[in-house]
Amino acid sequence: MEVSIAGMIIAALIATICMFGRRVAIITSICAFAFPSTALVTLTSLGGSSITVPQFGLVCLFITALSSGDLAPKISNIFKTEASAQIIALFTIFAVVGAYIMPRLFTDVTEVFSLARSSSGRGNVLSTVPLSPSSGNITQPFYFLGNLAGFLSVLVLSQSRRTLDMVVAGLKGLVIVHTLGGAVDFVSKYGVGFDLLDFLRTAKYAMLIDVDVLNFKRIVGLYPEASSFAYASIAYTALMFGFWRIMGIPLSGFLFFSVLGCLAVSTSSTAYFCLFFLAIVYAIVLIKQSTTGYVEVLSVSLVLAVLLVIALILALIIFAPKLLEPYQDLIQRMVFNKADSESARQRFGWNMQAVTNFLQTYGMGAGLGSLRSSSWILTLLAELGLIGALSYGAFVASLFAPVGIAKPSRDRYLAGVRLSCQIMLFAFLVAACISSSLFDLGGAFYVAAGCAVAARRIERGETLYILWERGMERSHAPEVAGRAPA
């Protein structure tokens, strides 16, 4: 086991800050998700797998939930009234048990691109190996259990609008730290000429931090590579758009454009493809606001600014085309010619092998953590089979379920939190289906999922504290015309 000094210092700071009250603990724990390339320890016995700062953040969030009081009644209430909690709990049992059984049941039946590290310290990304139990069957279930703990912790903590606001503040803090990491990395690449964040990159991943495309430096922020940085940035852009346009939270508009800038300079194909889909969602939100009469000067200014930028680009194309040639070449290579690249061919091979794994295991899956592909949905099918994919699909569907009652709460804040987090979840899923090689969607996805569900539960009046308050009101209500209290 190798200990990272930088990781331990950050963990000590997080643990110390978490002692200053529940709100600070929640915000700090969620902000820890911004350090995925910083390891606390590296487990050499598991092929160099790392326990990173985000996993420590999930532990801190879980401890905060355990110390919130009335834990047993809260958990009981959640599992009795919330379908998403019931589904993900059953799915977790299925996935963890399958991670042990399936690689042994289908040993040598199929070839996989394994997550297990080779002697060079990297996963088998260029050649397949026969399916067999590996370190990935231990680490991936461990990571998923941590994410499940994060999801349930948010539901336990968010019993009212006041406590839900703590989680919202944590998500906003996470985006701030993420954006600062991107800004510092930008300065490192285009300013000082060396990596200012190198001391934080202690995980045993392949750190693709000094890569350029047509003389454009790839921005990775606090992440090990540009694609993972773009994956998170896509989701955070969506969240900030919701906070800004739906909820009107201060500074969220500035953060939206800041993260959008991070996406633009990441030179990631994932970012550029996903922005197309998200632009449709953003347009729908703006159109809906305009048709309901909710139009602000800022909305009109935004449309005019976009039109001005388009006009400026067209003017440059006509009068100074040479100024745009480097950017045209970049877009041509990263978007239109991406399918012809060596990376695209490699990822296509991963995807085809994942389909083969699904078929050769008779649709039962090779087990969580057994393989990689270049699409989250294919990894889900190849590892967890048809039953696992349908089960997880039911969980995802439950996250987007409407309030579903005749007279829901008219609290605009709760509806805004729910819709903003749902847009973020949609962005996560789109980005993952395009380029994520693992089933693990990250702690931020499950915290946002918990936040969306918690907001809906508060709107419905299903949380334990709201039910208790209603019970107290009924018990103190006066009798009318001989009737029992309502």
**CA 185 → CA 196, 227, 293, distances in Å?**
7, 15, 42
Tokens 């703990």 locate to 149
Closest by CA to 377, choosing from 441, 317, 423, 421, is 441
- Cβ atoms of 396 and 380 closer than 8 Å: no
Alpha-carbon span 418 to 423, nearest angstrom: 9
Per-residue pLDDT of the chain (486 residues; tens, 9 = 90+): 788 898 899 999 999 999 999 999 999 999 999 999 998 988 777 667 788 999 999 999 999 999 988 888 889 889 998 999 999 999 999 999 999 999 999 998 999 888 765 544 455 556 788 999 988 899 899 999 999 999 999 999 998 888 999 999 999 999 999 999 999 999 988 888 788 988 988 887 777 777 776 667 888 889 988 888 888 999 999 999 889 888 888 888 889 888 888 887 777 777 777 777 777 777 776 666 665 555 555 555 555 555 565 555 555 555 555 555 555 555 555 554 555 556 667 777 888 899 999 999 999 999 999 988 888 999 999 999 999 999 999 999 999 988 775 455 567 889 899 999 999 999 999 889 887 888 999 999 999 999 999 999 998 887 776 666 556 544 544 443 343 333
List of residues 6+ apart from 336 with CB closer than 8 A: none
Tokens in use for 174?
């996470």
- Cβ atoms of 421 and 124 closer than 8 Å: no
Please give the sequence-ordered ranges of beta strands (E in DSSP) within 301-414, or none if there are none: none
Domains in the chain: boundaries: 61-292+342-475, 296-340
Alpha-carbon span 74 to 50, nearest angstrom: 33
How would you class 243 by CB atoms within 10 Å of its CB: exposed for 0-12, middle for 13-18, buried for 19 or more? buried
Alpha-carbon span 255 to 243, nearest angstrom: 10
Residue 162: its H or E element: helix 161-187
Q: Which amino acid is at 122?
A: R
Residue 116: φ, ψ to 5° = -60, 140
- Cβ atoms of 46 and 185 closer than 8 Å: no
Tokens in use for 126?
């260029």
Residue 280: its H or E element: helix 269-291
- CB contact burial 85-115 (16+ within 10 A = b; e otherwise): bbbbbebbebbbebbeebbeebeeebbbbbb
Residue 213: φ, ψ to 5° = -125, 110
pTM: predicted TM-score of the whole model, two decimal places: 0.85
Residue 51: φ, ψ to 5° = -95, 115
Strand partners, 112: 129
DSSP states of 417-452 as a string? HHHHHHHHHHHHHHHHHHH--SS---HHHHHHHHHH
